[in-house]
Amino acid sequence: MKKDHIFKRLPAFAAGMLAVAMLAALAEPVSAAGAKIAYNQVGIRVMREQQVKAGQTYTAPSGQQIPFTITYTDAAGIQTNYIAAAQLSKLLDADISWDEETSSIEIGVPPVPGEVTITVENRSNDGPPAPTPSNEPEYGLVIGNLEEIDPHTVGDVITADPGSYYIRSTRMQSPDGSFPEITAHPRPASKGESYLVYSVTNNGETPKDITVMRPVSIASRREMFPTLHVQPGETLVRVFRILKDEETHPMQRTFSFGVGSSVTDRTIRPQERPVSDVTVSLLNINRV
């Protein structure tokens, strides 16, 4: 998840080490207390995956090399490790910003724009139905460790037998127009290339919205691939390449695949909506 625009909003000291602020609160200077400070002596693992190695530094927005960790050893020899606030936010896959009013670092709370204009438009239910949303995928878009690609470029993948699958040719009829979200944790194969093939056949009478999203850890929001819709009697196939990115955060590998009510459904009174009828597959294909 890219957060460079958020880091630029931080004062230089806020984007630096959280440890500095904490150590500054000591009653006595570090040297007078007989304590010691060392840098980058420890690494960091998240969900058992090495994210930072001992001795590793990172480059701050200013271009300076900043320590990932500070080890504070008190006079009794007890060690406490501190980590840069900016890097902590990345390890937790959370937004970081600066609250000027309280002089606080905000982690997990998206920055609030300085000026917000809200326009309220009154609409009548008797008006014309809302237009059907655009049905344009964004090939090449990467979220987490998935990249959406054009299905026509990997025809052999679509027709291949899946090495494994989350759900396969499952048909469901629902009065509320939805299909339970499928949660997937895609991981690349050790050899060759790996793909997720998501197909939805609409057996009903109204279009359905097809969503693929990634929950953002800590913050209550999501990153989404474009929402597409599948018309009655048609099948929509979406293909995602599973990237071999060693730097991909473990928390970035959880995705939700959903089928929901379309704009057309929402213009019809609930008691008058036709029953949703879809057939769904989410397959994991490996190509050597």
Top pLDDT among 221 and 8 is at: 221
Tens-place pLDDT, residues 118-150: 444 444 445 444 445 567 899 999 998 899 999
| pLDDT, mean of residues 91-107 | 76
What is the predicted pLDDT for the residue at 226?
94
CA dist., res. 237 & res. 239, Å (int): 7
- Are 271 and 170 in contact by the 8 Å Cβ rule? The answer is no
What is the predicted pLDDT for the residue at 197?
95
The pTM of this model reads 0.60
Q: Which amino acid is at 117?
A: T
Tens-place pLDDT, residues 229-266: 999 999 999 999 999 865 666 667 889 999 988 776 66
DSSP helix/strand/coil, 13: helix
What is the predicted pLDDT for the residue at 216?
73
What is the predicted pLDDT for the residue at 16?
43
- The DSSP line for 239-288 is EEEE---TTS-GGGG-EEEEEEE-HHHHTS-GGGPPPEEEEEEEEEEEE-
